[in-house]
Amino acid sequence: MPERSMAKARDRRDYERTASIISGALTVVGTSDLAMRGFTAAVRKTAKSQQQQMIADWLKNYTAPGQPGNAFFKNIRRLHPNVRRRFVAGMMANFFMRDPEYTKALLKERDITSPTTILISPSMRCNLRCVGCYAAEYDSEDDLSEEMVESIIDQGEEIGTRVYTMLGGEPFVWRPLLDIIERHPQSVFLVFTNATMINDRVADRILELGNVCPTISIEGGRESTDARRGEGTYDRIMAAMDRLRERGIMFAFSATATSQNIDEITSEPFADLMVEKGAFYGWYFSYMPVGREPDLSLMPTADQRNQLRKGVMHIRNTRPLLVADFWGDGTLTGGCLSGGRKYIHINNKGDVEPCIFAHFATDNIKDKPLIDCLCSDFFRDLRRMEPFGKNLLRPCPIIDHPAVMKKVVERNNAYPTHEGAETLINELQPGLHTYAASVRDVLNPVWQNEMPWAHKWLDADGDYQRRKQRGRDADVAPDEAGEPASEEVGALN
């Protein structure tokens, strides 16, 4: 039996056992401060690497009496046991407790690691008609088939990926969604949704499955949400959140930051509303100039990027709400996740894209096994250069180092996956370079002077230190950004 199959069988066995132990521990942890102290002491004791010790120290402070994490863990007890076991414990088991032999075997056989998550957009259809969105132009013939999505998840599980992020369009419009999730009980599913299709029947089914976490898109308050998504949408979102909370289902929110709304989506009233409604965590994404009518003026400015970073940190430090800024928290992940380093996106046509925001591909999942798509020259080229610069507050090859995405796309002959996608590497380049320079001027001093913990964190990250030596730093050698590493690379760092 090949090493990978043996590791896989052991991984599956261990998963059930680990999830069950974690689930049991989670029910006890929230019962008292004493139990919480015991839990953090146990985590500290098992922490081996320097980074694990830093996490353990953070957890101890985060969960101390009066701190937001204390309430966060107590709230976990509110969740339905099925959700606690299948989603929360399943997520922790999949993220933190995976058999290292499994990864080693995959590395040895194909020189890749399995993505932490695979993003799939099975359909671009949607039941809403939001401003600036073209979902109305799609019909069911444009969808991925049920068999294809099933095959992607089977292939992903085969290489150890157990977290799937379902996007769209509106994922609940795609009818087989919950049936497929039911057939994959050892994986967990984050479903990014407008929430308007989460009625009592859907909420009951989500509860029964347990391994689903709806992540609900919201634009801030009623006025902003209804202005973009249509009259009455805000009330439908609130009603869906109530249904989920009353059943003990874990859910999150997702907000897109633009140059117009940072104050609103990072405000204390908005954070308090999300806590009151029962959200456990939230994602902040910044508007990206992609899609059919990209608009650079909607991107948060350099100062607003910093404001968003601080706002997210403030919420995390003061509310039982684990929020993350997809760019500003790039340090925690060691930089960009794209190209299969941590994730990939498969669109409704089957194109395998390096990132949800990079609409280029060289492979289609209908023509090639997933593992071969992950090994493509296009993805290897991107992975070999991550991180693209040393300041991980500016991690992105699309907006922070625009020359990188352009060069990688061009030299691998990647095709645009929809009409107009190529503007990103053509017409928009001058504007993106101006934007990237302004972000550099604001965020470089922040990186150097205000984030001592980030440097300590990265010094302890062996993988990051190795990767840092391989690629050309787009700041140090802007004209060569995107070129493959060579022996002179050391001189650039």
Residues of this chain that bind ligand SF4 (CB under 6 A): 336-338, 355, 357-358, 395-398
Quick one: CA dihedral 422, 426, 427, 429, positive or negative?
positive
Give the shortest CB-345-to-ligand SF4 separation in angstroms: 9
Half-sphere exposure of 312 (CA within 13 A, CB side): 25
Give the shortest CB-449-to-ligand SF4 separation in angstroms: 23
Give the shortest CB-340-to-ligand SF4 separation in angstroms: 11
In the bound state with ligand SF4, the residue whose beta carbon lies nearer, of 89 and 436, is: 436
Secondary structure of the chain: what % helix, strand, coil (to 5)? 55, 10, 35
Contact 401, 394 (CB under 8 A): yes
Give the shortest CB-163-to-ligand SF4 separation in angstroms: 15
Contact 193, 241 (CB under 8 A): no
The tokens 């500290």 sit on which residue? 44
In the bound state with ligand SF4, the residue whose beta carbon lies nearer, of 324 and 477, is: 324
Q: How many residues does the chain have?
A: 493
Helix (H) or strand (E) holding 164: strand 163-166
In the bound state with ligand SF4, the residue whose beta carbon lies nearer, of 233 and 286, is: 286
**Counting Cβ atoms within 10 Å, is residue 323 exposed (0-12), middle (13-18) or buried (19+)?**
buried
Q: Give first-to-last CA distance, the chain, whole Å.
A: 44
Give the shortest CB-145-to-ligand SF4 separation in angstroms: 27
* Chain-centre distance for alpha carbon 415: 24
Cα-based distances in Å from 205 to 122, 197, 200, 201, 368: 20, 12, 9, 6, 33
In the bound state with ligand SF4, the residue whose beta carbon lies nearer, of 280 and 357, is: 357
Nearest to 328 by CA among 447, 219, 431: 447
Q: Both tokens of residue 479?
A: 């004209």
Contact 195, 151 (CB under 8 A): no
In the bound state with ligand SF4, the residue whose beta carbon lies nearer, of 320 and 397, is: 397
In the bound state with ligand SF4, the residue whose beta carbon lies nearer, of 117 and 338, is: 338
Give the shortest CB-400-to-ligand SF4 separation in angstroms: 7
Give the shortest CB-475-to-ligand SF4 separation in angstroms: 15
Give the shortest CB-442-to-ligand SF4 separation in angstroms: 17
Half-sphere exposure of 84 (CA within 13 A, CB side): 22
In the bound state with ligand SF4, the residue whose beta carbon lies nearer, of 245 and 359, is: 359
In the bound state with ligand SF4, the residue whose beta carbon lies nearer, of 41 and 437, is: 437
